[in-house]
Every structure is written in C-alpha cells, then in structure tokens.
C-alpha cells in the first residue's frame, strides 16, 4: 500500500522529477532493488536481505476490517465509541473472509491469528494485494486484515468498519531498502525523506 500524501507533497515541491511506482510480490521487489531496476523498494523488516541498506519509515499495526453491513460492525457502530473498538479474531469463526495469497506477508499474519484464536473463517477469496482485499471488504464481500496506515491514508471508494485486535500481533516495520552496491540518487533520498516525514 502506497501512501498518497507524501507523493502529492513531493510532486508539488519537485514538479520536474517524475516518479514511477511499481507494485510487485516481495521477491520481485527484492530483485528489482538488488539489480538497480528501481532506486529503492518498500519492504518489511522480516524480508530484509543482508546485502541491502535500509531506512526505517514507519511501523504498521494490523487491524480487522468488516463491511459496514456486517452485524458486528452495525452493533459496534451504534455504540458511538471514540477510536476503534477492540474485538477478538475468534469472532471471525465461520465468517466470510478475504485473505491474502500465500506469498503475501499478511497471509502469515492471518494464519497465526487463526491458530491463536481457534477461528476458522470461511475464505471466499484470496486477494493479490491488501488494497484489493480492503476494497472488496468495503464493497460487502467479507472481512479482511488491514493496517492502520491503510485505514488512515487510503482514499476509500467505500468505507469499511475497523477494529483493533485483542490478540497480540507484532507490528510490521516498513523499510526503504536498496542494494549496498548502489548509491541512491539525490531525488530518491529526498523522496525517502518525504516518506519518513509522513
């Protein structure tokens, strides 16, 4: 998921620099960064290779998203509580669920939550990206896992209802990584600064 605020701010300050953003599986992004196909890649700390330099951008917290029409979402929405209500992932037992494809890191988080909570959601779709899963959730297809950065930064076509999880889920650390064999361009360094400031 790519936040739009720093992209807009960077373009306004440096209108002459053209950015090209590619979305791809982790292994492909690692190959791009190692080969210099891209200036840098946004990866999570669990996938960091020894031949990469990295800059920490932010930490992301895992949250649960439900369609607004879901009975649990409606029940909590009526409470009019400040912030996000907390819920156990166990409540997803038997519920329609959109999970990420196995090669995605959020699929591992899903598997751990199922194991810890004992929940067995009814997987109705395996999405390729967290954005795809989130938009399908907001459209009413089923629940999914999201990050707090997505909740706060994404321009939602339709809004889902979000919960914090009662289960302990380790934060994901987002990094800008590049090969130690290559030097970042000044433009790439400036853009990383914008991402860190956001």
pLDDT bin (cut points 50, 70, 90) of residue 3 is: low
Task: Provide the pLDDT for residue 43.
Answer: 84
Q: 61-65, 93-97, 115-119, 173-177: which range is least confident on average?
A: 173-177
Residue 182 is given by DSSP the state: S
Contact assessment for residue 2 and residue 198, using Cβ atoms and an 8 Å cutoff? no
Question: What proportion of the chain, given as a percentage, has pLDDT over 90?
Answer: 40
Higher pLDDT, 188 or 115: 115
Quick one: average pLDDT of 138-142? 95
Q: How far is CA 36 from the centre of its chain?
A: 24
Q: Whats the size of the chain, residue-wise?
A: 198
Task: Provide the pLDDT for residue 83.
Answer: 80
pLDDT bin (cut points 50, 70, 90) of residue 16 is: confident
Quick one: average pLDDT of 73-86? 81
Task: Provide the pLDDT for residue 27.
Answer: 82
Q: 1-5, 44-48, 81-85: which range is least confident on average?
A: 1-5
Contact assessment for residue 69 and residue 194, using Cβ atoms and an 8 Å cutoff? no
Q: How far is CA 82 from the centre of its chain?
A: 23
Per the confidence metrics, is the pTM higher than 0.85?
no
pLDDT bin (cut points 50, 70, 90) of residue 81 is: low
Residue 85 is given by DSSP the state: P
Quick one: average pLDDT of 22-49? 83
């Amino acid at each position: 998921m790519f936040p739009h605020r720093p992209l807009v701010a960077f373009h306004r300050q440096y209108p002459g620099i053209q950015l090209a953003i590619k979305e791809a599986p982790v292994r492909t992004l690692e190959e791009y960064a190692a080969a210099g196909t891209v200036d840098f890649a946004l990866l999570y700390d669990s996938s960091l290779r020894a031949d990469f330099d990295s800059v920490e951008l932010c930490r992301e917290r895992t949250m649960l998203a439900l369609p607004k029409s879901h009975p649990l979402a409606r029940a909590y929405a009526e409470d009019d509580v400040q912030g996000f209500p907390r819920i156990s992932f166990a409540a997803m037992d038997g519920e329609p669920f959109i999970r990420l494809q196995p090669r995605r890191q959020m699929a591992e988080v899903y598997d751990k939550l199922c194991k810890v909570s004992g929940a067995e959601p009814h997987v109705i779709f395996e999405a390729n990206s967290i954005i795809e899963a989130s938009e399908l959730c907001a459209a009413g297809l089923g629940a999914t896992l999201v990050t707090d950065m997505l909740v706060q930064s994404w321009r939602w076509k339709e809004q889902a209802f979000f919960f914090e999880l009662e289960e302990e889920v380790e934060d994901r650390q987002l990094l800008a990584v590049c090969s130690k064999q290559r030097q970042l361009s000044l433009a790439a360094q400036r853009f990383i600064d914008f991402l860190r400031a956001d």
